[in-house]
Amino acid sequence: MSPEPQRGMRAVTAEEFSPLEAMGGVRGFIESVLPGLIFVVIYLITEDLWPPLIASVAVALIATIVRIIGGTSVQQAAAGIIGVAVAAIWAWRTGEAKDYFALGLWTNAIYLAACLISLLARRPLVGYVVGALTGDINGWSRDKFQRRAYGWATGVWTATFALRLIIQLPLYLGAQVAWLGSMRLVMGVPLWALALWITWLLVRGPARASMNKRAQENNALETAPPKEE
């Protein structure tokens, strides 16, 4: 029986990697891209800000409600609706359609800065992320092989965030809403799934070693004889 596919960041700690499952499955992928797609399409049709804002928020809200009714996990949909709501409020406050995508640019800039700082400090960010998922947040830093692997993986993340900004920021500054929205969709979840797959290739050995070590430590604690009082 094959192991259960992991989603999001947990995909890099799995024994097998599924790009589709890393994106949250077909349903998660649709929920991620549909609000932005709806926003761009309706904005191009109406050339007005309010209809696409209302439609994108409504789509995200419906996705969350459907998950609640169906009794499935609402984590991804809930995170999506929060992001869409913030983006909509930002655009509504400024009155500029391009600002619907401003939050994503700021988020990528913050992640890029965090990755660069961690590389300069020789404490690659991916190591701490994977360490938190495997239950050994700092153990990898004492192993040269793991530090190198996590360093390369953090470099992949750095390149991903930088590429998004290099392509999308000029479109934002030029108020090219259609192209900006299109690039946001192409370089959003699909590009992130690619980055996670490369990360998995780089860190699956160290990640599995950390998980095995943690499991052995837990087994040792469970099987240890009780202390005499």
End-to-end CA distance of the chain: 45
Taking the C-alpha atoms of residue 176 and residue 197, their distance in angstroms, rounded to an integer, is 31
Q: How is residue 68 written in tokens?
A: 């609640």
Q: What is the pLDDT of residue 146?
A: 86
Per-residue pLDDT of the chain (229 residues; tens, 9 = 90+): 344 456 777 888 778 888 888 887 888 888 889 999 999 999 999 989 999 999 999 998 998 888 888 776 667 667 778 889 999 999 999 999 999 999 999 999 999 999 999 999 999 999 999 888 888 788 888 888 888 999 999 999 999 999 999 999 999 999 999 999 999 999 998 899 999 999 999 988 765 655 555 545 445 445 555 555 4
In the prediction, which pLDDT does 2 show? Answer: 43
CB 55 within 8 A of CB 34: no
Computed on alpha carbons and rounded to an integer, the radius of gyration of the chain in Å comes to 21
The reported pLDDT for the residue numbered 28 is 82
Query: How would DSSP label each residue in 54-90?
Result: HHHHHHHHHHHHHHHHHT---HHHHHHHHHHHHHHHH
Q: Which of 196, 180, 170 is nearest to 13 (CA)?
A: 196
Phi/psi class of residue 131: alpha, beta or left (left: φ > 0; alpha: ψ in -120 to 50)?
alpha
pLDDT score for 226:
55
What integer pLDDT is reported at residue 14 of this predicted model? Answer: 78
Q: Which two structure tokens, joined as six digits, stand for 62? A: 């419906």
Q: Is there a contact between 9 and 133 (Cβ–Cβ < 8 Å)? A: yes
3-class SS at 224? coil
pLDDT at 162: 97
Going from the C-alpha of 62 to that of each of 8, 39, 59, 73, 117, the distances in angstroms are: 22, 15, 5, 14, 39
Cα dihedral across residues 9, 12, 16, 20: positive or negative:
positive
Please tell me the predicted confidence (pLDDT) of residue 51: 94
Close Cβ partners of 198 (under 8 Å, ≥ 6 residues apart): 153, 156
